[in-house]
């Protein structure tokens, strides 16, 4: 019989050792455990602290993540919190080169911030809610509606159903009724084309070798994103709590 520890036993032992040595304990929010298909009750902070009495649960910065400045800007979130920003930069660069308005360029730059900072499901809605207090109404609307529009072709502007979706979702995927209803509302809206342009710049934006630079958008963001003087998250806007959660994703309460 082999009495070597299994891989998972070794991982458990390492985790236990780390929790004894670190001076902080991370208790995951429910969403993280659901993402693992885990329906067990949340870990007991007091029991974990019993094994390591000097440790505390996090009530602010997570030492494993890049340090945010005291008064963070949108650009700081791009640099310190958003993952894989190159898709956003490529989309915005594409819109810029095509000569679209600053509103459209900004909408392209921000269209998937829900995905890169927060959550995939309904990412258009989450992203729109995050930016709504800081951008022109049309930009937030366009980000929200790209959630639905990307599933529906518009031959008049040359937008076809993305081949990638056929691969990702299978050939039989049909958008749910709420998406269809949202599409119909968007289709007849005065800002339809702003949101449609997000989808048009989106599908051509997956080039891993493209050279893109966040600095190219500093001026457009400066002119079109109302950066709160207190720092994004500290400004008491209707979405400030969302930015704080992204700043402190492991805060205990």
Tell the smallest beta-carbon distance from residue 127 to Fe ion (Å).
8
DSSP one-letter string for the chain: ---SPPHHHHHHHHHHHHHHHSSEE----HHHHHHTT--SPPP-HHHHHHHSTT-EE-SS--TTSPPPPSS--HHHHHHHT-S-THHHHHHHHHHHHTT--HHHHHHHHHTTHHHHHT-STTHHHHHHHHHGGGS-HHHHHHHHHHHHHTTS-BGGGTB---HHHHHHH-TT----HHHHHHHHHHHTSTTHHHHHHHHHHHTT---TT----GGGGHHHHHHHS---TT-TTSS--TTHHHHHHHHSTT---
Least distance to Fe ion, CB of residue 147, Å: 7
Residue closer to Fe ion (CB basis): 7 or 121? 121
CB nearer to Fe ion: pick between 24 and 159: 159
182 or 202, CB closer to Fe ion? 202
Question: Is 182 one of the binding residues for Fe ion (CB under 5 A)?
Answer: no
Nearer to Fe ion (CB atom), residue 146 or residue 231: 146
Stretches 28-36, 69-77, 198-206, 207-215: which one binds Fe ion (CB under 5 A)? Answer: 198-206
Q: If binding means CB under 5 A, how many residues of this protein chain bind Fe ion?
A: 2
If the CB atoms of residues 95 and 242 are measured against Fe ion, the closer one turns out to be 95
Stretch that binds Fe ion, among 16-24, 49-57, 200-208, 230-238 (CB under 5 A): 200-208
| Part in contact with Fe ion (CB under 5 A); list of ranges 1-9, 23-31, 137-145, 197-205 | 197-205
> By CB under 5 A, is residue 202 in contact with Fe ion?
yes
Residues 103-132 that bind Fe ion (CB under 5 A): 112
Q: Which residues bind Fe ion (CB under 5 A)?
A: 112, 202
């Amino acid at each position: 019989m082999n009495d070597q520890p299994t891989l998972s036993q070794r991982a458990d032992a390492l985790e236990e050792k780390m929790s004894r040595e670190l001076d902080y304990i991370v208790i995951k929010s429910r969403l993280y455990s659901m993402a693992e298909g885990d329906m067990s009750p949340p870990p007991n902070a007091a029991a974990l602290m019993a094994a390591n009495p000097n440790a505390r649960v996090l009530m602010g910065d997570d030492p494993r993540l890049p340090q945010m400045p005291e008064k963070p800007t949108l650009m700081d979130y791009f640099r310190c919190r958003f993952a894989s920003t190159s898709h956003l930069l490529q989309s915005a660069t594409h819109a810029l080169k095509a000569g679209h308005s600053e509103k459209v360029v900004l909408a392209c730059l921000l269209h998937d911030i829900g995905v890169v900072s927060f959550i995939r499901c309904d990412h258009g809605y989450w992203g729109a809610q995050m930016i709504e207090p800081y951008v022109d109404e049309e930009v937030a609307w366009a980000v929200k509606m790209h959630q639905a529009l990307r599933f529906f072709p518009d031959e008049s502007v040359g937008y076809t159903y993305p081949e990638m979706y056929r691969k990702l979702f299978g050939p039989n995927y049909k958008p749910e009724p709420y998406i269809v209803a949202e599409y119909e509302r968007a289709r007849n809206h005065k800002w339809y084309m702003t949101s449609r342009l997000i989808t048009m710049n989106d599908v051509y934006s997956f080039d891993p070798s493209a050279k893109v630079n966040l600095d190219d958008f500093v001026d457009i963001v400066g002119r079109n994103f109302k950066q709160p003087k207190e720092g994004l998250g500290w400004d008491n806007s209707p979405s400030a709590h969302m930015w704080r959660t992204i700043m402190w994703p492991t805060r205990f309460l």
